[in-house]
Amino acid sequence: MSLVMPVTEEERNADQGRRGQKDTFFNSNMYFYGREVCFILALLITSYAAFQNSPPKISKSPSPVPFFPRNSLVADFYNGQLSPAFERVSESDISFVMYYAPWDAESQSTRTQFKIVAQYFYKQIYFAAINCWQPHSECKQQFNKVQQFPVLIVYTQHNKGIQYKGIREATHMIRFLQFFLRPLEQIRTHDDLINLMTTHDAVVVGFFNFLGNVGGAGYYTFYSAALKFLERDPYREIGFAVVTDVGTAEKLMVDEIPSVRLYMWNETLLYSRDDEYTPDSLVKWISGNAHQVSVWVSPPGVKSLTLAPYVEDGSVLIMFTPRNPLDEHFYNYKLLREIGLEYYNCDENPWVMTLASRLAAERVSAATRQQEMEAECLVWKEHHQEVPHVQVVGRHWTNDSCRSMCEGKCRWTEGDLNFGPLHRHHYTCCKHTTHASYETSMLSGMGDERSSSALQEAFTLEKCRRLRRARTIYRPIFPHPAYHRKSPRRFTGLACRTNRTISLIAMDSLQFHQFAEGLGIDILKRTDKTAVVIFNVIQESSYILEGDVSKGAILEFITNYTDGTLNRSLRSSGGKLQNTLNQYPIQSEESCHSENVVCVRELNSNNFHSVVMTPNVAVVVLYHSPYCTFCHGISHIYLTVARYFHAVHNLTFVRIDGENNDLPWELTMHHYPTILFFPAIKKSESRVFPRHHPITIPNLVNFVLANLDPGEGSLRGMIGLCAGWERQHDDTMARDCIVRLRRDCLTAINATLKQYRVMNTRWHVYHKQLKHSLLRLQYLKEIHLMLGAVNRLSPSCSEYATILEAIERYHSNVKDFVPTVTNFTSNDRFIRDEL
């Protein structure tokens, strides 16, 4: 017997209170220790992250090496140091500096051309190259925002640097530096101004009153503007000239001196005296007001809108012709300017007619002047040591007061010497060196590089060097004089009498031949490398001038385009292999007939119509583009389906590059890839593969079967498809194809019997059709029975050959019924739908 003491209610409550206090104390201690542990962990993680946040360790950049040879005429600062480079630049009158990155392909390509330019101008210009990519170098830190290399800048002692933005080839840079060395021409007579207008598209003339050899007020600003404008116009299409004599200014009807005028082909603008007279304001005024009848276009080689202003406004005539910057005879471009002056001369302005006549005269005498220059250089090369001691004061920057200094010792000559574009009037002061009849204390000039004879010899040398280098680029071809003719009177002002105004531009065919090739012209294979094309981006059409390029041909070409009698030119790849990703391997003619090779023929504009419109042959055409990645992705699908239908003799698969081959509008596709089916009989009923369906093998197979000619065409396609599947060693699909083909034969037999029963009631009307139905029933029965004896259909088996023979025998027997076969089109369409 156990003794149990009863527990009272008070004791029970006290015991529960003690346990609650103990639990509360335990929980508070756990919270405190947990907080401390979390704090320690956070501290450890923060310390670890701080240690790991130190700068990453990277390998040092390789030590720079010279970019130019050490014996080069170009001072190479390959460590990227700017201070010593600009010390040398500040000591030189003119410096040409190339900022490069040694890894850059454009910099490496420009290096050779830069060395050639240095060899040409090393006596006059200081050449330097600075590595502006070297990390932590002065150049990298100073010009850290340069995005493209190389950067070419010309520096002078008193002007900011002028960047060269033209083509990075030696001849183009030489021409640019020649303009930089002599940015201004001098005008003495009205004839000088006309000659400058024929040389340049427009001329900016500054009128200043020179005091002796000191420039007049505003001359330095005008000189700086001429240099600065080279940044926008590196080829000097807009010339700069000065008039230093008050009398000449009065003859040109200029009342206020100093002043600046812009002479263009149809108007003359005066720079307002109220506007700010600074180089920047002058450059902005010239750029905003100058307009030309024709213009050279030089795309920069990157994405740009250079051509957009011309092609978006309507039609544009593009003349592709060589532009040799060192050649003074731009024959074809002067021809284009002459035509443009006549085309836009709406009111028969005498000034415009004078410019056109002067351009025509220069073109006629271009060949003669070219021969004279070559003969002069040949004579100088053989006898340059026998140059007579003649002091020539040409291109003088003084007024007529110099004539009094040479009274009795000067003669006025006209056209004695050819000083570039100025070969008209010169002062020639002569001093007899051997037969002098009086004594003089004047120096002979022997050994002086700046004497008149030395300067004359240097000028001739430079001219011949320029001619020799120009011949290494391109030798101009001057046409027969019969090509020079006057324009018909109805052509003058044609631009104002039609709503199809044409812009006239020229492009260098040696530099931008890819643009001509894009329009379907293989420009580099032409003898004169010249072609003319009219392009209209809105109509997406181009018209190419066939035959030789002459004034008469271009006039007739423009007139016919205005009248709308020209036929659109179609580009054709001509079967040439393009270097694109979307090209199948070229197979030989023998391999294409092999059983293991399926060839998809590549068409072009020349043979597209003859292949696609072949009678009694269905054609499947794939339109693709070399820039279409998806076209390349579906190429295996197209080839697979072509292999399946390889056994169908009256079905062919071809493709055409729609980007490089122009077709008639009704056959042109604007989306790639596009699959078009041309039936064997009615070619006009071509069908496009639905765009909302994915291009897969089953979809494309069904598309071809559904569009084959009803009845026998679809049946023949199914037979060929079964044979194609057998070649792919697909047993299941091959057996299923046989079963489906037999079912289709039964369906065709049933439909033919229905037709036979209907026509049999009126046999006297449909007796020919009844015979046709019987023949059809006979060959369908033969095919059905032969298919029941095989599990697979192979092109090499006897059953396949027998089936094809039955089909051919049927077609040969019913050829007399071809006109009446169309009576069964509805039933045949039913059979096609069942397939």
pLDDT-derived band at 388, boundaries 50, 70, 90: very low
Task: Give the Cα separation of 233 and 219 in Å (integer).
Answer: 21
Residues 519 and 638 both lie in one domain:
no
Looking at residue 100, its pLDDT comes to 95
pLDDT-derived band at 321, boundaries 50, 70, 90: very high
Contact yes or no for 100/130 (Cβ under 8 A): yes
In a domain, 553, yes or no: yes
Looking at residue 597, its pLDDT comes to 65
In a domain, 503, yes or no: yes
In DSSP terms, 269 is beta-bridged to 262
Element (H, E) at 800: helix 798-813
Q: DSSP H helical segments within 144-189, as ranges?
A: 170-181
Looking at residue 368, its pLDDT comes to 83
In a domain, 421, yes or no: no
The tokens for 754 are 């229905």
Is pLDDT larger for residue 713 or for residue 183? 183
Contact yes or no for 171/325 (Cβ under 8 A): yes
Looking at residue 392, its pLDDT comes to 36
Looking at residue 660, its pLDDT comes to 85
From residue 761, how far is each of 486, 754, 772, 821 by CA, in Å? 82, 12, 16, 19
Q: What number of helices (H) and strands (E) belong to the chain?
A: 26, 23
The four Cα atoms 453, 455, 461, 465 give a dihedral, to 10 degrees, of -170
Is pLDDT larger for residue 588 or for residue 236? 236
Looking at residue 475, its pLDDT comes to 78
Strands across the sheet containing 162-164: 75-77, 126-131, 94-100, 151-156, 162-164
From residue 131, how far is each of 66, 82, 212, 485, 715 by CA, in Å? 9, 9, 45, 55, 74
The answer for residues whose C-beta is within 8 angstroms of residue 68's C-beta and 6 or more apart is: 74, 76, 111, 115, 129
Q: Check whether 695 has a pLDDT greater than 80.
A: yes
pLDDT-derived band at 173, boundaries 50, 70, 90: very high
Residues 523 and 630 both lie in one domain:
no
Task: Give the range among 17-21, 119-123, 718-722 with minimum mean pLDDT.
Answer: 17-21
pLDDT digits (tens, 9 = 90+) for 69-86: 988 899 999 999 999 999
* Mean pLDDT of the 215-240 span: 90
From residue 588, how far is each of 592, 593, 594, 597, 705 by CA, in Å? 6, 9, 10, 11, 29
Is pLDDT larger for residue 427 or for residue 207? 207
Of 366, 367, 377, 372, nearest to 465 (Cα)? Answer: 377
Task: Give the Cα separation of 360 and 158 in Å (integer).
Answer: 41
User: Structural domain of residue 711, as residue ranges?
Assistant: 592-834
The tokens for 75 are 């001072």
Task: Give the range among 274-288, 396-410, 625-639 with minimum mean pLDDT.
Answer: 396-410
pLDDT-derived band at 50, boundaries 50, 70, 90: low
Residues 641 and 532 both lie in one domain:
no
Q: Check whether 547 has a pLDDT greater than 70.
A: yes
Of 149, 144, 105, 147, nearest to 129 (Cα)? Answer: 149
* Mean pLDDT of the 643-649 span: 77
pLDDT digits (tens, 9 = 90+) for 759-818: 766 655 566 666 667 767 776 777 777 776 676 666 667 676 777 667 666 655 555 444
Residues 713 and 765 both lie in one domain:
yes
Residues 725 and 793 both lie in one domain:
yes
Strands across the sheet containing 425-429: 391-393, 425-429, 410-414
Residues 626 and 496 both lie in one domain:
no
* Mean pLDDT of the 685-705 span: 89
Looking at residue 462, its pLDDT comes to 82
Contact yes or no for 774/809 (Cβ under 8 A): no
Element (H, E) at 126: strand 126-131
Residues 689 and 809 both lie in one domain:
yes
Is pLDDT larger for residue 403 or for residue 234? 234
Tally of domains in the chain: 3
Residues 597 and 636 both lie in one domain:
yes
DSSP 247-288: HHHHHTT--SSSEEEEE-SS-EEE--TTS--SHHHHHHHHHH
Q: What is the pTM of this model?
A: 0.72
Percent of the chain with pLDDT over 90: 30
Task: Give the range among 247-256, 414-423, 454-463, 497-506 with minimum mean pLDDT.
Answer: 414-423
Residues 556 and 634 both lie in one domain:
no
Residues 637 and 695 both lie in one domain:
yes
Task: Give the Cα separation of 261 and 160 in Å (integer).
Answer: 25
Task: Give the Cα separation of 150 and 284 in Å (integer).
Answer: 26
CATH number at residue 103: 3.40.30.10
Q: Check whether 109 has a pLDDT greater than 90.
A: yes
Candidate ranges 41-45, 218-222, 463-467; pick with highest mean pLDDT:
218-222
Residues 667 and 532 both lie in one domain:
no
In a domain, 318, yes or no: yes
Looking at residue 25, its pLDDT comes to 58
